[in-house]
Amino acid sequence: MAFDFKKEYKEYYQPKKKPEIINIPSFNFIAVRGEGNPNEENGMYQQAIGVLYAIAYTLKMSYKTDYKIEGFYEYVVPPLEGFWWQEDIEGVDFFHKETFHWISVIRLPDFISKKDFEWAVEKASIKKKMDCSKAEFFTFEEGLCVQMMHQGSFDEEGETVKIMNRYLQEKGYRNDFTKSRLHHEIYLSDVRKVVPEKWKTVIRHPVCKIDKNNESMSKNNV
């Protein structure tokens, strides 16, 4: 049976519908950066998604080609994720999507090296007849975070964020957004097949502990 990240690492992909504090280690991703409204038809975001999946499935199916990846085992392509931010805004403003900056990513199994990634970019570009050169091999450690499962449309995420923020206040933490610590979403539902009220999205925010003198002490120096 193919290795499924969502099932094997439930602490990262299947949080409860209530907030929890978690420390996220370093992972490797396929990443494409961009900006603008993700709902724009044939826009930058939609094109980025196409590039991510082209590379992801090229790597997944590599064992059927002449290219062999050391340590390879069959796996399910992990879910699409996104890091989001807007200039001069802490967190995100869900109602002004045109101002979004984003890094769209798909996690890579640990056995995939940068060399393997570069092979897949070239292979996917030829096979899919698309330019995959904007993709990058992205290594990121989120560190200390609060996360929660959101069920519903993306426009309703603000209500879940409010619950997360109240939890932080009760537990002595605060949000720790910086240029490299961002609002993070993991998409567990196929929006083409599931009605919006049943969409499941992991929402994750960087946090730090507040000490007794009201000074924050971050466990993540990104």
Return the pLDDT at 122. 98
What pLDDT does 213 receive? 63
| Residue found by looking up tokens 């930058």 in the block | 44
* pLDDT, position 94: 85
What confidence score (pLDDT) does residue 33 get? Answer: 98
Q: What pLDDT score does 9 carry?
A: 97
Q: b/e per residue, 158-191, with b = 16+ CB within 10 A?
A: eebbeebbebbeeeebbbbbeeebbbbbbebeee
Average pLDDT over all residues of the chain: 94
Which residues of the chain fall short of a pLDDT of 50? 216-222
Portion of the chain with pLDDT greater than 70, in percent: 95
CB 85 within 8 A of CB 93: no
Question: 24-64 pLDDT, tens per residue?
Answer: 999 999 999 999 999 999 899 999 999 999 999 999 999 99
Predicted structure pTM score: 0.93
Express each pLDDT in 130-154 by its tens digit.
999 999 999 999 999 999 999 999 9
**In whole angstroms, what is the distance from residue 203 CA to residue 166 CA?**
15
Phi, then psi, of 163 in degrees rounded to 5: -65, -45
pLDDT of residue 212: 61
Q: What angle do CA 165, 84, 148 make, to 5 degrees?
A: 40
